[in-house]
Amino acid sequence: MTPGARLQTAIELLAEIGEGHGAADDVVGGFFRRHRFVGAKDRAAISEHIYSILRHRASIDWWIRRVNGNQQPDARQRLFATLIMIEGWEPETVAKACDGDRFRPNPLGILEQQVVKGLKGRSLIHPEMPRPVRLNYPEWLDPHWEALFGDKVDAEMAVMTETAPLDLRVNRLKGNRLDARSALSNEGVEAMPTPLSPTGLRVYKRIPLATLDVFKSGRIEVQDEGSQIAALLALAKPGMRVVDFCAGAGGKTLALAAGMQNKGHLVACDISAPRLERAVVRLRRAGVSNVERRPLTSERDKWVKRHAESFDRVFVDAPCTGTGTWRRNPDAKWRLRPLDLEELSVLQGSILDSAARLVKPGGRLIYATCSMLPAENGGQIQNFLASHPAFALLPIAQVWKDAIGTPCPVETDTLQLTPARHGTDGFFVAVMERRAPEPVAVVEGEAEPETTEAAVPDEAAETPVVDAA
């Protein structure tokens, strides 16, 4: 592709993303799947154009308005501004690439010429920019970041505009980290051990992951270090009965199954049957054989009531705003609205309340999000504990010691990981335990009440299978 053809492709994809046709990864990935003739260098250049804009959109728009008379920026203007201020193109080079020839953008209009010429030599950051513009996040979130980070907002949010590395989880069902790292090296990929997760490897460059034998054989999976830690802190052990309540496509299900060494019963639940179906390929590749897939109609599905207090671990990776993943999904920040946070907070509370019914006495409820917003994290735990006196919050330092064995990176009772402090996605984890009931005192001379073992529904006693198809 010519430079101009790359620009035209980026403009069209940016317009699709801006019109709400899908998340950036889906739109860009879908285009590349439909156009397999596009080479690796072209794909990299097109992606760089798009993601540079998505990471710095607020700053870019501020500059465009400053030089074009305060008109609303469009995909073309954003791209041209990015080429000048971030990628270092000269105005003449931009104009040459936009000659209107086949597959190339139409020539620059008057306003676009103003943008290109007016931004030459400009730095992306200007001292007059408000903090949300300078750090590229929606203005309505500023009080939330202030409440969480205080005077560290600048340092924390600046990192969120960077590109995240690729984190891999070593599948302990098929080997250890040393062997997986060696296998990657043999295929030309340099990977470093993650500093917090004992099952993680980190790669700092683009790699053709799906073509690697070490991936195709199920020895590694893509999973952020923060997500790996969340699964480790569940302390799911061999022989336990475990529920992954919001399993999605199965990333944490795989990690939980590895911790259980394929022994015991692991139920992967989700309200989306297609998402659970997509997990089948991953489960097979990883060699997982103790998972039962269970579609639910909602978080209040009757299955939950039928299996009340029968699981050792209930893992809730709750749907959330995803603010901790902005390095990987920068377009998500611009789609987020205050109403989304309100609705998700209500849903999270309902999910947590329902999932708690599954935890048996002495069992644990693990709540996790890939968010950094207090309303979705500490606020949810505070509300839950206030209305569920049977549960107690376990200090995360002790859980960390038992599960990982290294010093815990936080001093609070819950875990909040951030990209700036820990190099992971923004991840929150709280671990709660259902207290065992107090023993009933028997008065001398009185007969002890008869006890019968609770009946286990037939479907719960079935041998779990990965795929019944």
SS3 of 391, please? strand
125 close to 134: Cβ distance less than 8 angstroms: yes
- Residue of 261, 317, 314 lying closest to 286 (CA atoms): 261
**For residue 426, what are the CA distances in angstroms to 9, 160, 226, 374, 381?**
32, 9, 7, 12, 17
Report the relative pairing of strands 200-203 and 192-193 from DSSP bridges.
antiparallel
CB atoms within 10 A of CB 48: 16
The Cα 425–Cα 423 span in angstroms is 7
62 close to 129: Cβ distance less than 8 angstroms: yes
Name the strand (E) or helix (H) holding 314: strand 311-317
The Cα 262–Cα 260 span in angstroms is 5
| Annotated catalytic residue 370 | yes
Please name the residue that has the structure tokens 């007059």. 128
The Cα 311–Cα 253 span in angstroms is 15
The Cα 116–Cα 335 span in angstroms is 27
Active site residue: 246, 320, 370, 408, which one? 370
The Cα 228–Cα 255 span in angstroms is 7
Active site residues: 370
